Amino acid sequence: MKWVMARKFPPLGEEVVKQIETAWAEPQPEWARQRLRVVRLIAQHELTAAEIMRVCDVSRQTVFTYRDTVVAEGVPGLLQRKWKGARKPAVRGAVATEFIRRLEAGQFRQARDAQAWIKKRTRQSLSESGVRKVLRRLGGKLKVPRKSHAKKDPAKAAQFKAELPARLTAVVGSAPDRPVRLWVLDEHRYGLLPVIRRVWARRGVRVHAPYATKYHWGYRHEALEVDGAHHTELLFTPAIDRDIHAVFLAQIAASDPQALHVVIQDQAGFHLPVNDPRLPKNLRLLPLPPYSPELNPVERFGGLLKARVTNRLYPSLRRLEDHLFAASREWTQPAKVAGLIHRWLADQVNSGAPIYSL
């Protein structure tokens, strides 16, 4: 067998070798020491380019670049850093502040929208990949926006948060003669029409989910206790109206007949008003501001349960209800209920001690 030996570098010359050894004996920063190490090994004329790559942990191109530089410019040229610093970002200072504000408001639907805004604001043209880097650098992430009703009044939502202790005092009195239990209530519709959501899959492989058009619905009524024992009340019904809502409120009131129950709920048309005669005697209502579902922790509870039945077909509504009920038992544990309650809600409730320490 004939072995072909790797070719070594040609000699660098006595003058260059002398410069290398002189510089090597002097104190050098690490980046300079690395360059000198490469050309010193070349000058010793013992190792091939591949071996120098492994010893110095550099690329083949770097080895030849350092060799050519020291031949053409000597050691002074090799130890001269020609890096002029990073390019100043196009979005910085006041522009970055305004960009972040628009990013938080969700005003960029696509990277192209941000690209056009940057060009208009700074007169600099960035590639789409460059704009994506800017978006990520400033904390951007592609998200699906949450629906918000056009009639929503953010000021009223903020006012509700701030005035919650005072409103609770107005509902139960300053010195209630029995324990007070605070609940948040909502309803969610479920049905045989499948809910399709994203799944993880391999790139380039199309994923299918079973689907059938079946319009058969039911309603799940949910109430979570804000503090104290963190109990959960559930009710599954085939329809929803004020009479059915009265049944669910009676179920909550009967869970502890000796307590005064305060229920925070939205102002849906099928909810009982605060002065309805069908309200249990030991229950009071505290309405949320209109079109403010984000104030109600039960929204999160409903979303978690829906996630357990996505991308599946059910032969009957009863089978779906059995699955929902089984899934809900996991989230009715007091510790998990406490985790669903908004921090601001728990803080505001407990800030009104002693009557809000439920």
CA atoms within 13 A on the CB side of 337: 20
CA pair distance 218, 318, nearest whole angstrom: 10
- The gap between the terminal CA atoms of the chain, to the nearest Å, is 89
Domain boundary among 27, 44, 78: 78
Q: Quick check: bond before 354 cis, omega within 30?
A: yes
pLDDT average, residue stretch 245-268: 96
pLDDT average, residue stretch 148-177: 87
DSSP 8-state secondary structure symbol assigned to residue 293: G
pLDDT at 221: 95
Residue 329's nearest CA partner among 226, 239, 222, 237 is: 222
Instruction: Give a yes or no: residue 159 inside a domain.
Output: yes
Asked whether residue 340 falls in the same domain as residue 240, the answer is: yes
Asked whether residue 119 falls in the same domain as residue 228, the answer is: no
pLDDT at 228: 87
Q: Above 80 in pLDDT, residue 146?
A: no
pLDDT average, residue stretch 207-222: 90
Instruction: Give a yes or no: residue 46 inside a domain.
Output: yes
The strand pairing partners of 232, in sequence order, are 224
pLDDT at 226: 94
pLDDT at 357: 39
Asked whether residue 99 falls in the same domain as residue 178, the answer is: no
pLDDT at 144: 77
CA pair distance 45, 61, nearest whole angstrom: 18
Length of the chain: 358
Domain count, the chain: 3
Q: Above 60 in pLDDT, residue 317?
A: yes
- Reported as a pLDDT band with limits 50, 70 and 90, residue 203 is confident
pLDDT at 198: 84
pLDDT in tens, 13-36: 888 888 899 999 899 899 899 999
Instruction: Give a yes or no: residue 68 inside a domain.
Output: yes
Q: Above 70 in pLDDT, residue 3?
A: no
- Reported as a pLDDT band with limits 50, 70 and 90, residue 352 is low
Asked whether residue 133 falls in the same domain as residue 254, the answer is: no
Asked whether residue 170 falls in the same domain as residue 316, the answer is: yes
CATH number at residue 255: 3.30.420.10
| Cβ-based neighbours of 5, under 8 Å, separated by 6 or more | none
Please give the full DSSP string across 9-32, using - where no structure is assigned: PPP--HHHHHHHHHHHHS---HHH
pLDDT average, residue stretch 226-237: 93
CA pair distance 226, 229, nearest whole angstrom: 9
Asked whether residue 199 falls in the same domain as residue 318, the answer is: yes
Instruction: Give a yes or no: residue 6 inside a domain.
Output: no
Instruction: Give a yes or no: residue 66 inside a domain.
Output: yes
Q: How far is CA 353 from CA 14, 82, 160, 229, in A?
A: 88, 67, 18, 17
pLDDT average, residue stretch 224-236: 93
Asked whether residue 346 falls in the same domain as residue 279, the answer is: yes
Instruction: Give a yes or no: residue 355 inside a domain.
Output: no
Residue 231's nearest CA partner among 358, 326, 342, 357 is: 358
Q: Model pTM? A: 0.64
The answer to whether 263 touches 183, Cβ cutoff 8 Å, is yes
- 3-state class percentages of the chain: helix first, strand second, coil last, to nearest 5: 45, 10, 45
pLDDT in tens, 75-130: 898 888 876 666 778 888 999 999 999 999 899 999 999 999 999 999 888 898 89
Asked whether residue 174 falls in the same domain as residue 295, the answer is: yes
Mean pLDDT of the chain: 88
pLDDT at 4: 39
Number of CB atoms found within 10 A of residue 247's CB = 13
Asked whether residue 205 falls in the same domain as residue 110, the answer is: no
pLDDT at 355: 45
Asked whether residue 73 falls in the same domain as residue 97, the answer is: no
pLDDT at 211: 87
- Beta sheet of 283-287, edge-to-edge order: 232-237, 217-225, 180-191, 260-265, 283-287
Backbone angles phi, psi at 91, to 5 degrees: -110, 105
CA pair distance 59, 57, nearest whole angstrom: 7
Instruction: Give a yes or no: residue 142 inside a domain.
Output: no
Instruction: Give a yes or no: residue 158 inside a domain.
Output: yes
pLDDT in tens, 37-73: 999 998 888 888 888 888 888 898 999 999 999 888 8
Asked whether residue 122 falls in the same domain as residue 30, the answer is: no
Asked whether residue 323 falls in the same domain as residue 228, the answer is: yes
| Cβ-based neighbours of 211, under 8 Å, separated by 6 or more | 194, 196, 313
Domain of 23, in residue numbers: 14-78
